[in-house]
């Protein structure tokens, strides 16, 4: 019996599509498996490269889960898929606005209800809090998470901030000044994601999803960095406060909130370059005394 897979994704640079196509390369070659790609298309589209003001305008809506308008999907809720793959990226420690919009749309309920879902994430390095929200959305839409794959930029945190900002604002992702590594997920990691495909194929063709995540984790699909999780958790709580503060001045694009967004921008840069290094040092000093708690945290976020 043939199997149908729907891949729902949003990408600005094209990197996430490269990632998910690597993941699905093996299933796509299987006889009797049809893969349909559905791109989320915001109306109007978000820019790439970004301008600074436009980039920070997206902050409150990303954090609070306020959707944008999407172009109608090419598939409908009447399509009966055997598996849904959601490829998403974090914006401000949350799912990107188009991904929020998809999960909150009536079409999502029809497509996802009763179906196994695999999530594929392409991120800088902080994805855990966004994945928690994705899991909530999956449950709300009556589906079940069957697997999770995470690819991220492996460069040191402070260097990856420089490279990703340069990429977002100029479109350039190559090595910079001789010391800043190329931005984004490495091509080697993207190519390596193909190793997850046969595991997905086996589960898809057998209909047995219960052990898939254990197999994906064993293959290196989810590498949890507890030191970054600590920063991310605290950052997410503070981001919520900032987002509500800014939204009091108006919706997306409102000029009335420009000063508050400017204040947030300076706050964010100060946190990244002044506070987060000290947080990382504190974590490293405490790490030998927290081995059990750290392992528990890694296990928690590697699981479904």
Which residue did the predictor score with more confidence, 257 or 283?
A: 257
Domain ranges, residue 289: 228-302
From the list 175, 130, 123, 128, the residue with the least C-alpha distance to 154 is 123
Same domain, 116 and 260: no
Does residue 222 carry a pLDDT above 70? yes
- The pLDDT of residue 120 is 98
Q: Which of 100, 118, 37, 110 is nearest to 76 (CA)?
A: 110
One domain for residues 108 and 141: yes
* Residues 162-181 pLDDT 10s: 999 999 999 999 998 888 99
Q: Are 109 and 253 within one domain?
A: no
Q: Alpha carbon 55 to chain centroid distance?
A: 17
Percent of the chain topping pLDDT 70: 94
Q: Are residues 213 and 278 in the same domain?
A: no
Q: What is the pLDDT of residue 197?
A: 96
In a shared domain, residues 258 and 201: no
Instruction: Please indicate, yes or no, whether residues 207 and 238 belong to a single structural domain of this protein.
Output: no
- The answer to whether residues 96 and 273 touch, using CB atoms and an 8 Å cutoff, is no
126 close to 223: Cβ distance less than 8 angstroms:
no
Q: Give the mean model confidence (pLDDT) for residues 42-69.
A: 96
pLDDT at residue 50 in the model: 96
Q: Which of 63-72, 95-104, 223-232 has the weakest average pLDDT?
A: 223-232
Query: What is the residue whose two structure tokens read 């309920």?
Result: 109
What's the length of the chain?
304
For the stretch 148-161, pLDDT in tens is 999 999 998 888 98
- At 115-137, the pLDDT tens digits run 999 999 999 999 999 999 999 99
Q: What is the mean pLDDT of the chain?
A: 92
Query: Does 263 lie in the same domain as 207?
Result: no
Q: Does position 239 have pLDDT exceeding 70, yes or no?
A: yes
Q: Where does the pLDDT of residue 276 fall: very low under 50, low under 70, confident under 90, or very high at 90 and above?
A: low
Return the pLDDT at 275: 66
- Residue 165 · residue 106 · CB < 8 Å: no
By CB atoms closer than 10 A (0-12, 13-18, 19+), residue 27 is buried
pLDDT at 282: 67
* pLDDT given for residue 280 in this prediction: 66
- Give the whole-angstrom CA distance, residue 119 versus residue 20: 10
Q: Where among 223, 251, 278 does a domain terminate?
A: 223
- Same domain as 25, residue 146: yes
Contact of 59 with 261, CB cutoff 8 Å: yes
Please tell me whether residues 110 and 240 are part of one structural domain: no
- Please give the Cα distance from 287 to 297 (Å, whole number): 13
Q: Using only C-alpha atoms, what is the Rg of the chain?
A: 19
Q: What was the pLDDT predicted at 215?
A: 97
Residue 290 has pLDDT above 80, yes or no: no
Domain count, the chain: 2
Kindly give, in sequence order, each residue whose CB lies less than 8 Å from that of residue 80, ignoring residues fewer than 6 positions away. Answer: 4
In a shared domain, residues 232 and 214 = no
Note whether 71 and 214 are same-domain residues.
yes
For residue 11, being part of any structural domain is answered with yes
Is 174 domain-assigned?
A: no
- Spell out the residues 6+ positions from residue 196 whose beta carbon is closer than 8 angstroms to its own: 23, 149, 216, 219, 221
Instruction: Tell me if 50 is assigned to some domain.
Output: yes
Q: Is residue 76 part of a domain?
A: yes
In CATH, what number is assigned to the domain containing residue 57? 3.40.50.360
Rounded to whole angstroms, the Cα distance separating 128 from 119 reads 12
> 146 with 252, same domain?
no
Which pTM was predicted?
Answer: 0.93
Answer yes or no: is 219 within a domain: yes
Query: pLDDT tens-digit profile of 170-209?
Result: 999 999 888 899 999 999 999 999 999 999 999 999 999 9
Closest by CA to 242, choosing from 77, 56, 108, 100, is 56
Q: Would you say residue 111 lies in a domain? A: yes
**Where a domain ends, among 168, 202, 223?**
223
Cα(10)–Cα(4) distance, rounded to whole angstroms? 20
Question: Of 170, 201, 223, which residue sits at a domain end?
Answer: 223
């Amino acid at each position: 019996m043939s199997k149908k897979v729907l891949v729902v994704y949003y990408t600005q640079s094209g990197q996430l599509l490269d990632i998910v196509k690597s993941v699905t390369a093996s299933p796509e070659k299987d006889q009797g498996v049809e893969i349909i790609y559905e791109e989320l298309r915001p109306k109007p589209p978000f820019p790439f490269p970004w301008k600074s003001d436009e980039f920070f305008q997206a902050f409150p809506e990303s954090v609070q889960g306020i959707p944008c308008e999407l172009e109608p999907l090419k598939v409908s809720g009447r399509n009966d898929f055997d598996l849904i793959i959601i490829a998403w990226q974090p914006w401000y420690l949350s799912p990107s606005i188009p991904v929020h919009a998809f999960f909150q749309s009536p079409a999502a309920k029809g497509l996802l209800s009763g179906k196994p879902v695999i999530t594929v994430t392409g991120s800088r390095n902080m994805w855990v809090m966004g994945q928690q929200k994705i899991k909530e959305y999956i449950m709300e839409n009556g589906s079940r998470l069957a697997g999770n794959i995470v690819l991220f930029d492996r460069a040191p945190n402070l260097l990856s901030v420089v490279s990703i900002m340069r990429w977002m604002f100029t479109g350039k992702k190559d090595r910079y000044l001789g010391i800043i590594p190329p931005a984004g997920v490495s091509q080697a990691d993207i190519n390596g994601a193909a190793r997850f495909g046969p595991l997905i194929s086996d589960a898809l063709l057998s209909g047995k999803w219960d052990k898939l995540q254990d197999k994906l984790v064993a293959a290196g699909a989810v590498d949890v960095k507890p030191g970054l999780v600590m920063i991310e958790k605290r950052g997410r709580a503070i981001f919520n406060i900032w987002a509500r503060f800014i939204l009091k001045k108006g919706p997306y694009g409102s000029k009335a909130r420009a000063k508050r967004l400017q204040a947030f921008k300076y706050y964010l840069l100060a946190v990244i370059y002044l506070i987060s290094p000290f947080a990382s040092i504190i974590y490293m000093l405490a790490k030998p005394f927290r081995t059990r708690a750290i392992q528990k945290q890694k296990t928690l976020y590697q699981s479904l």
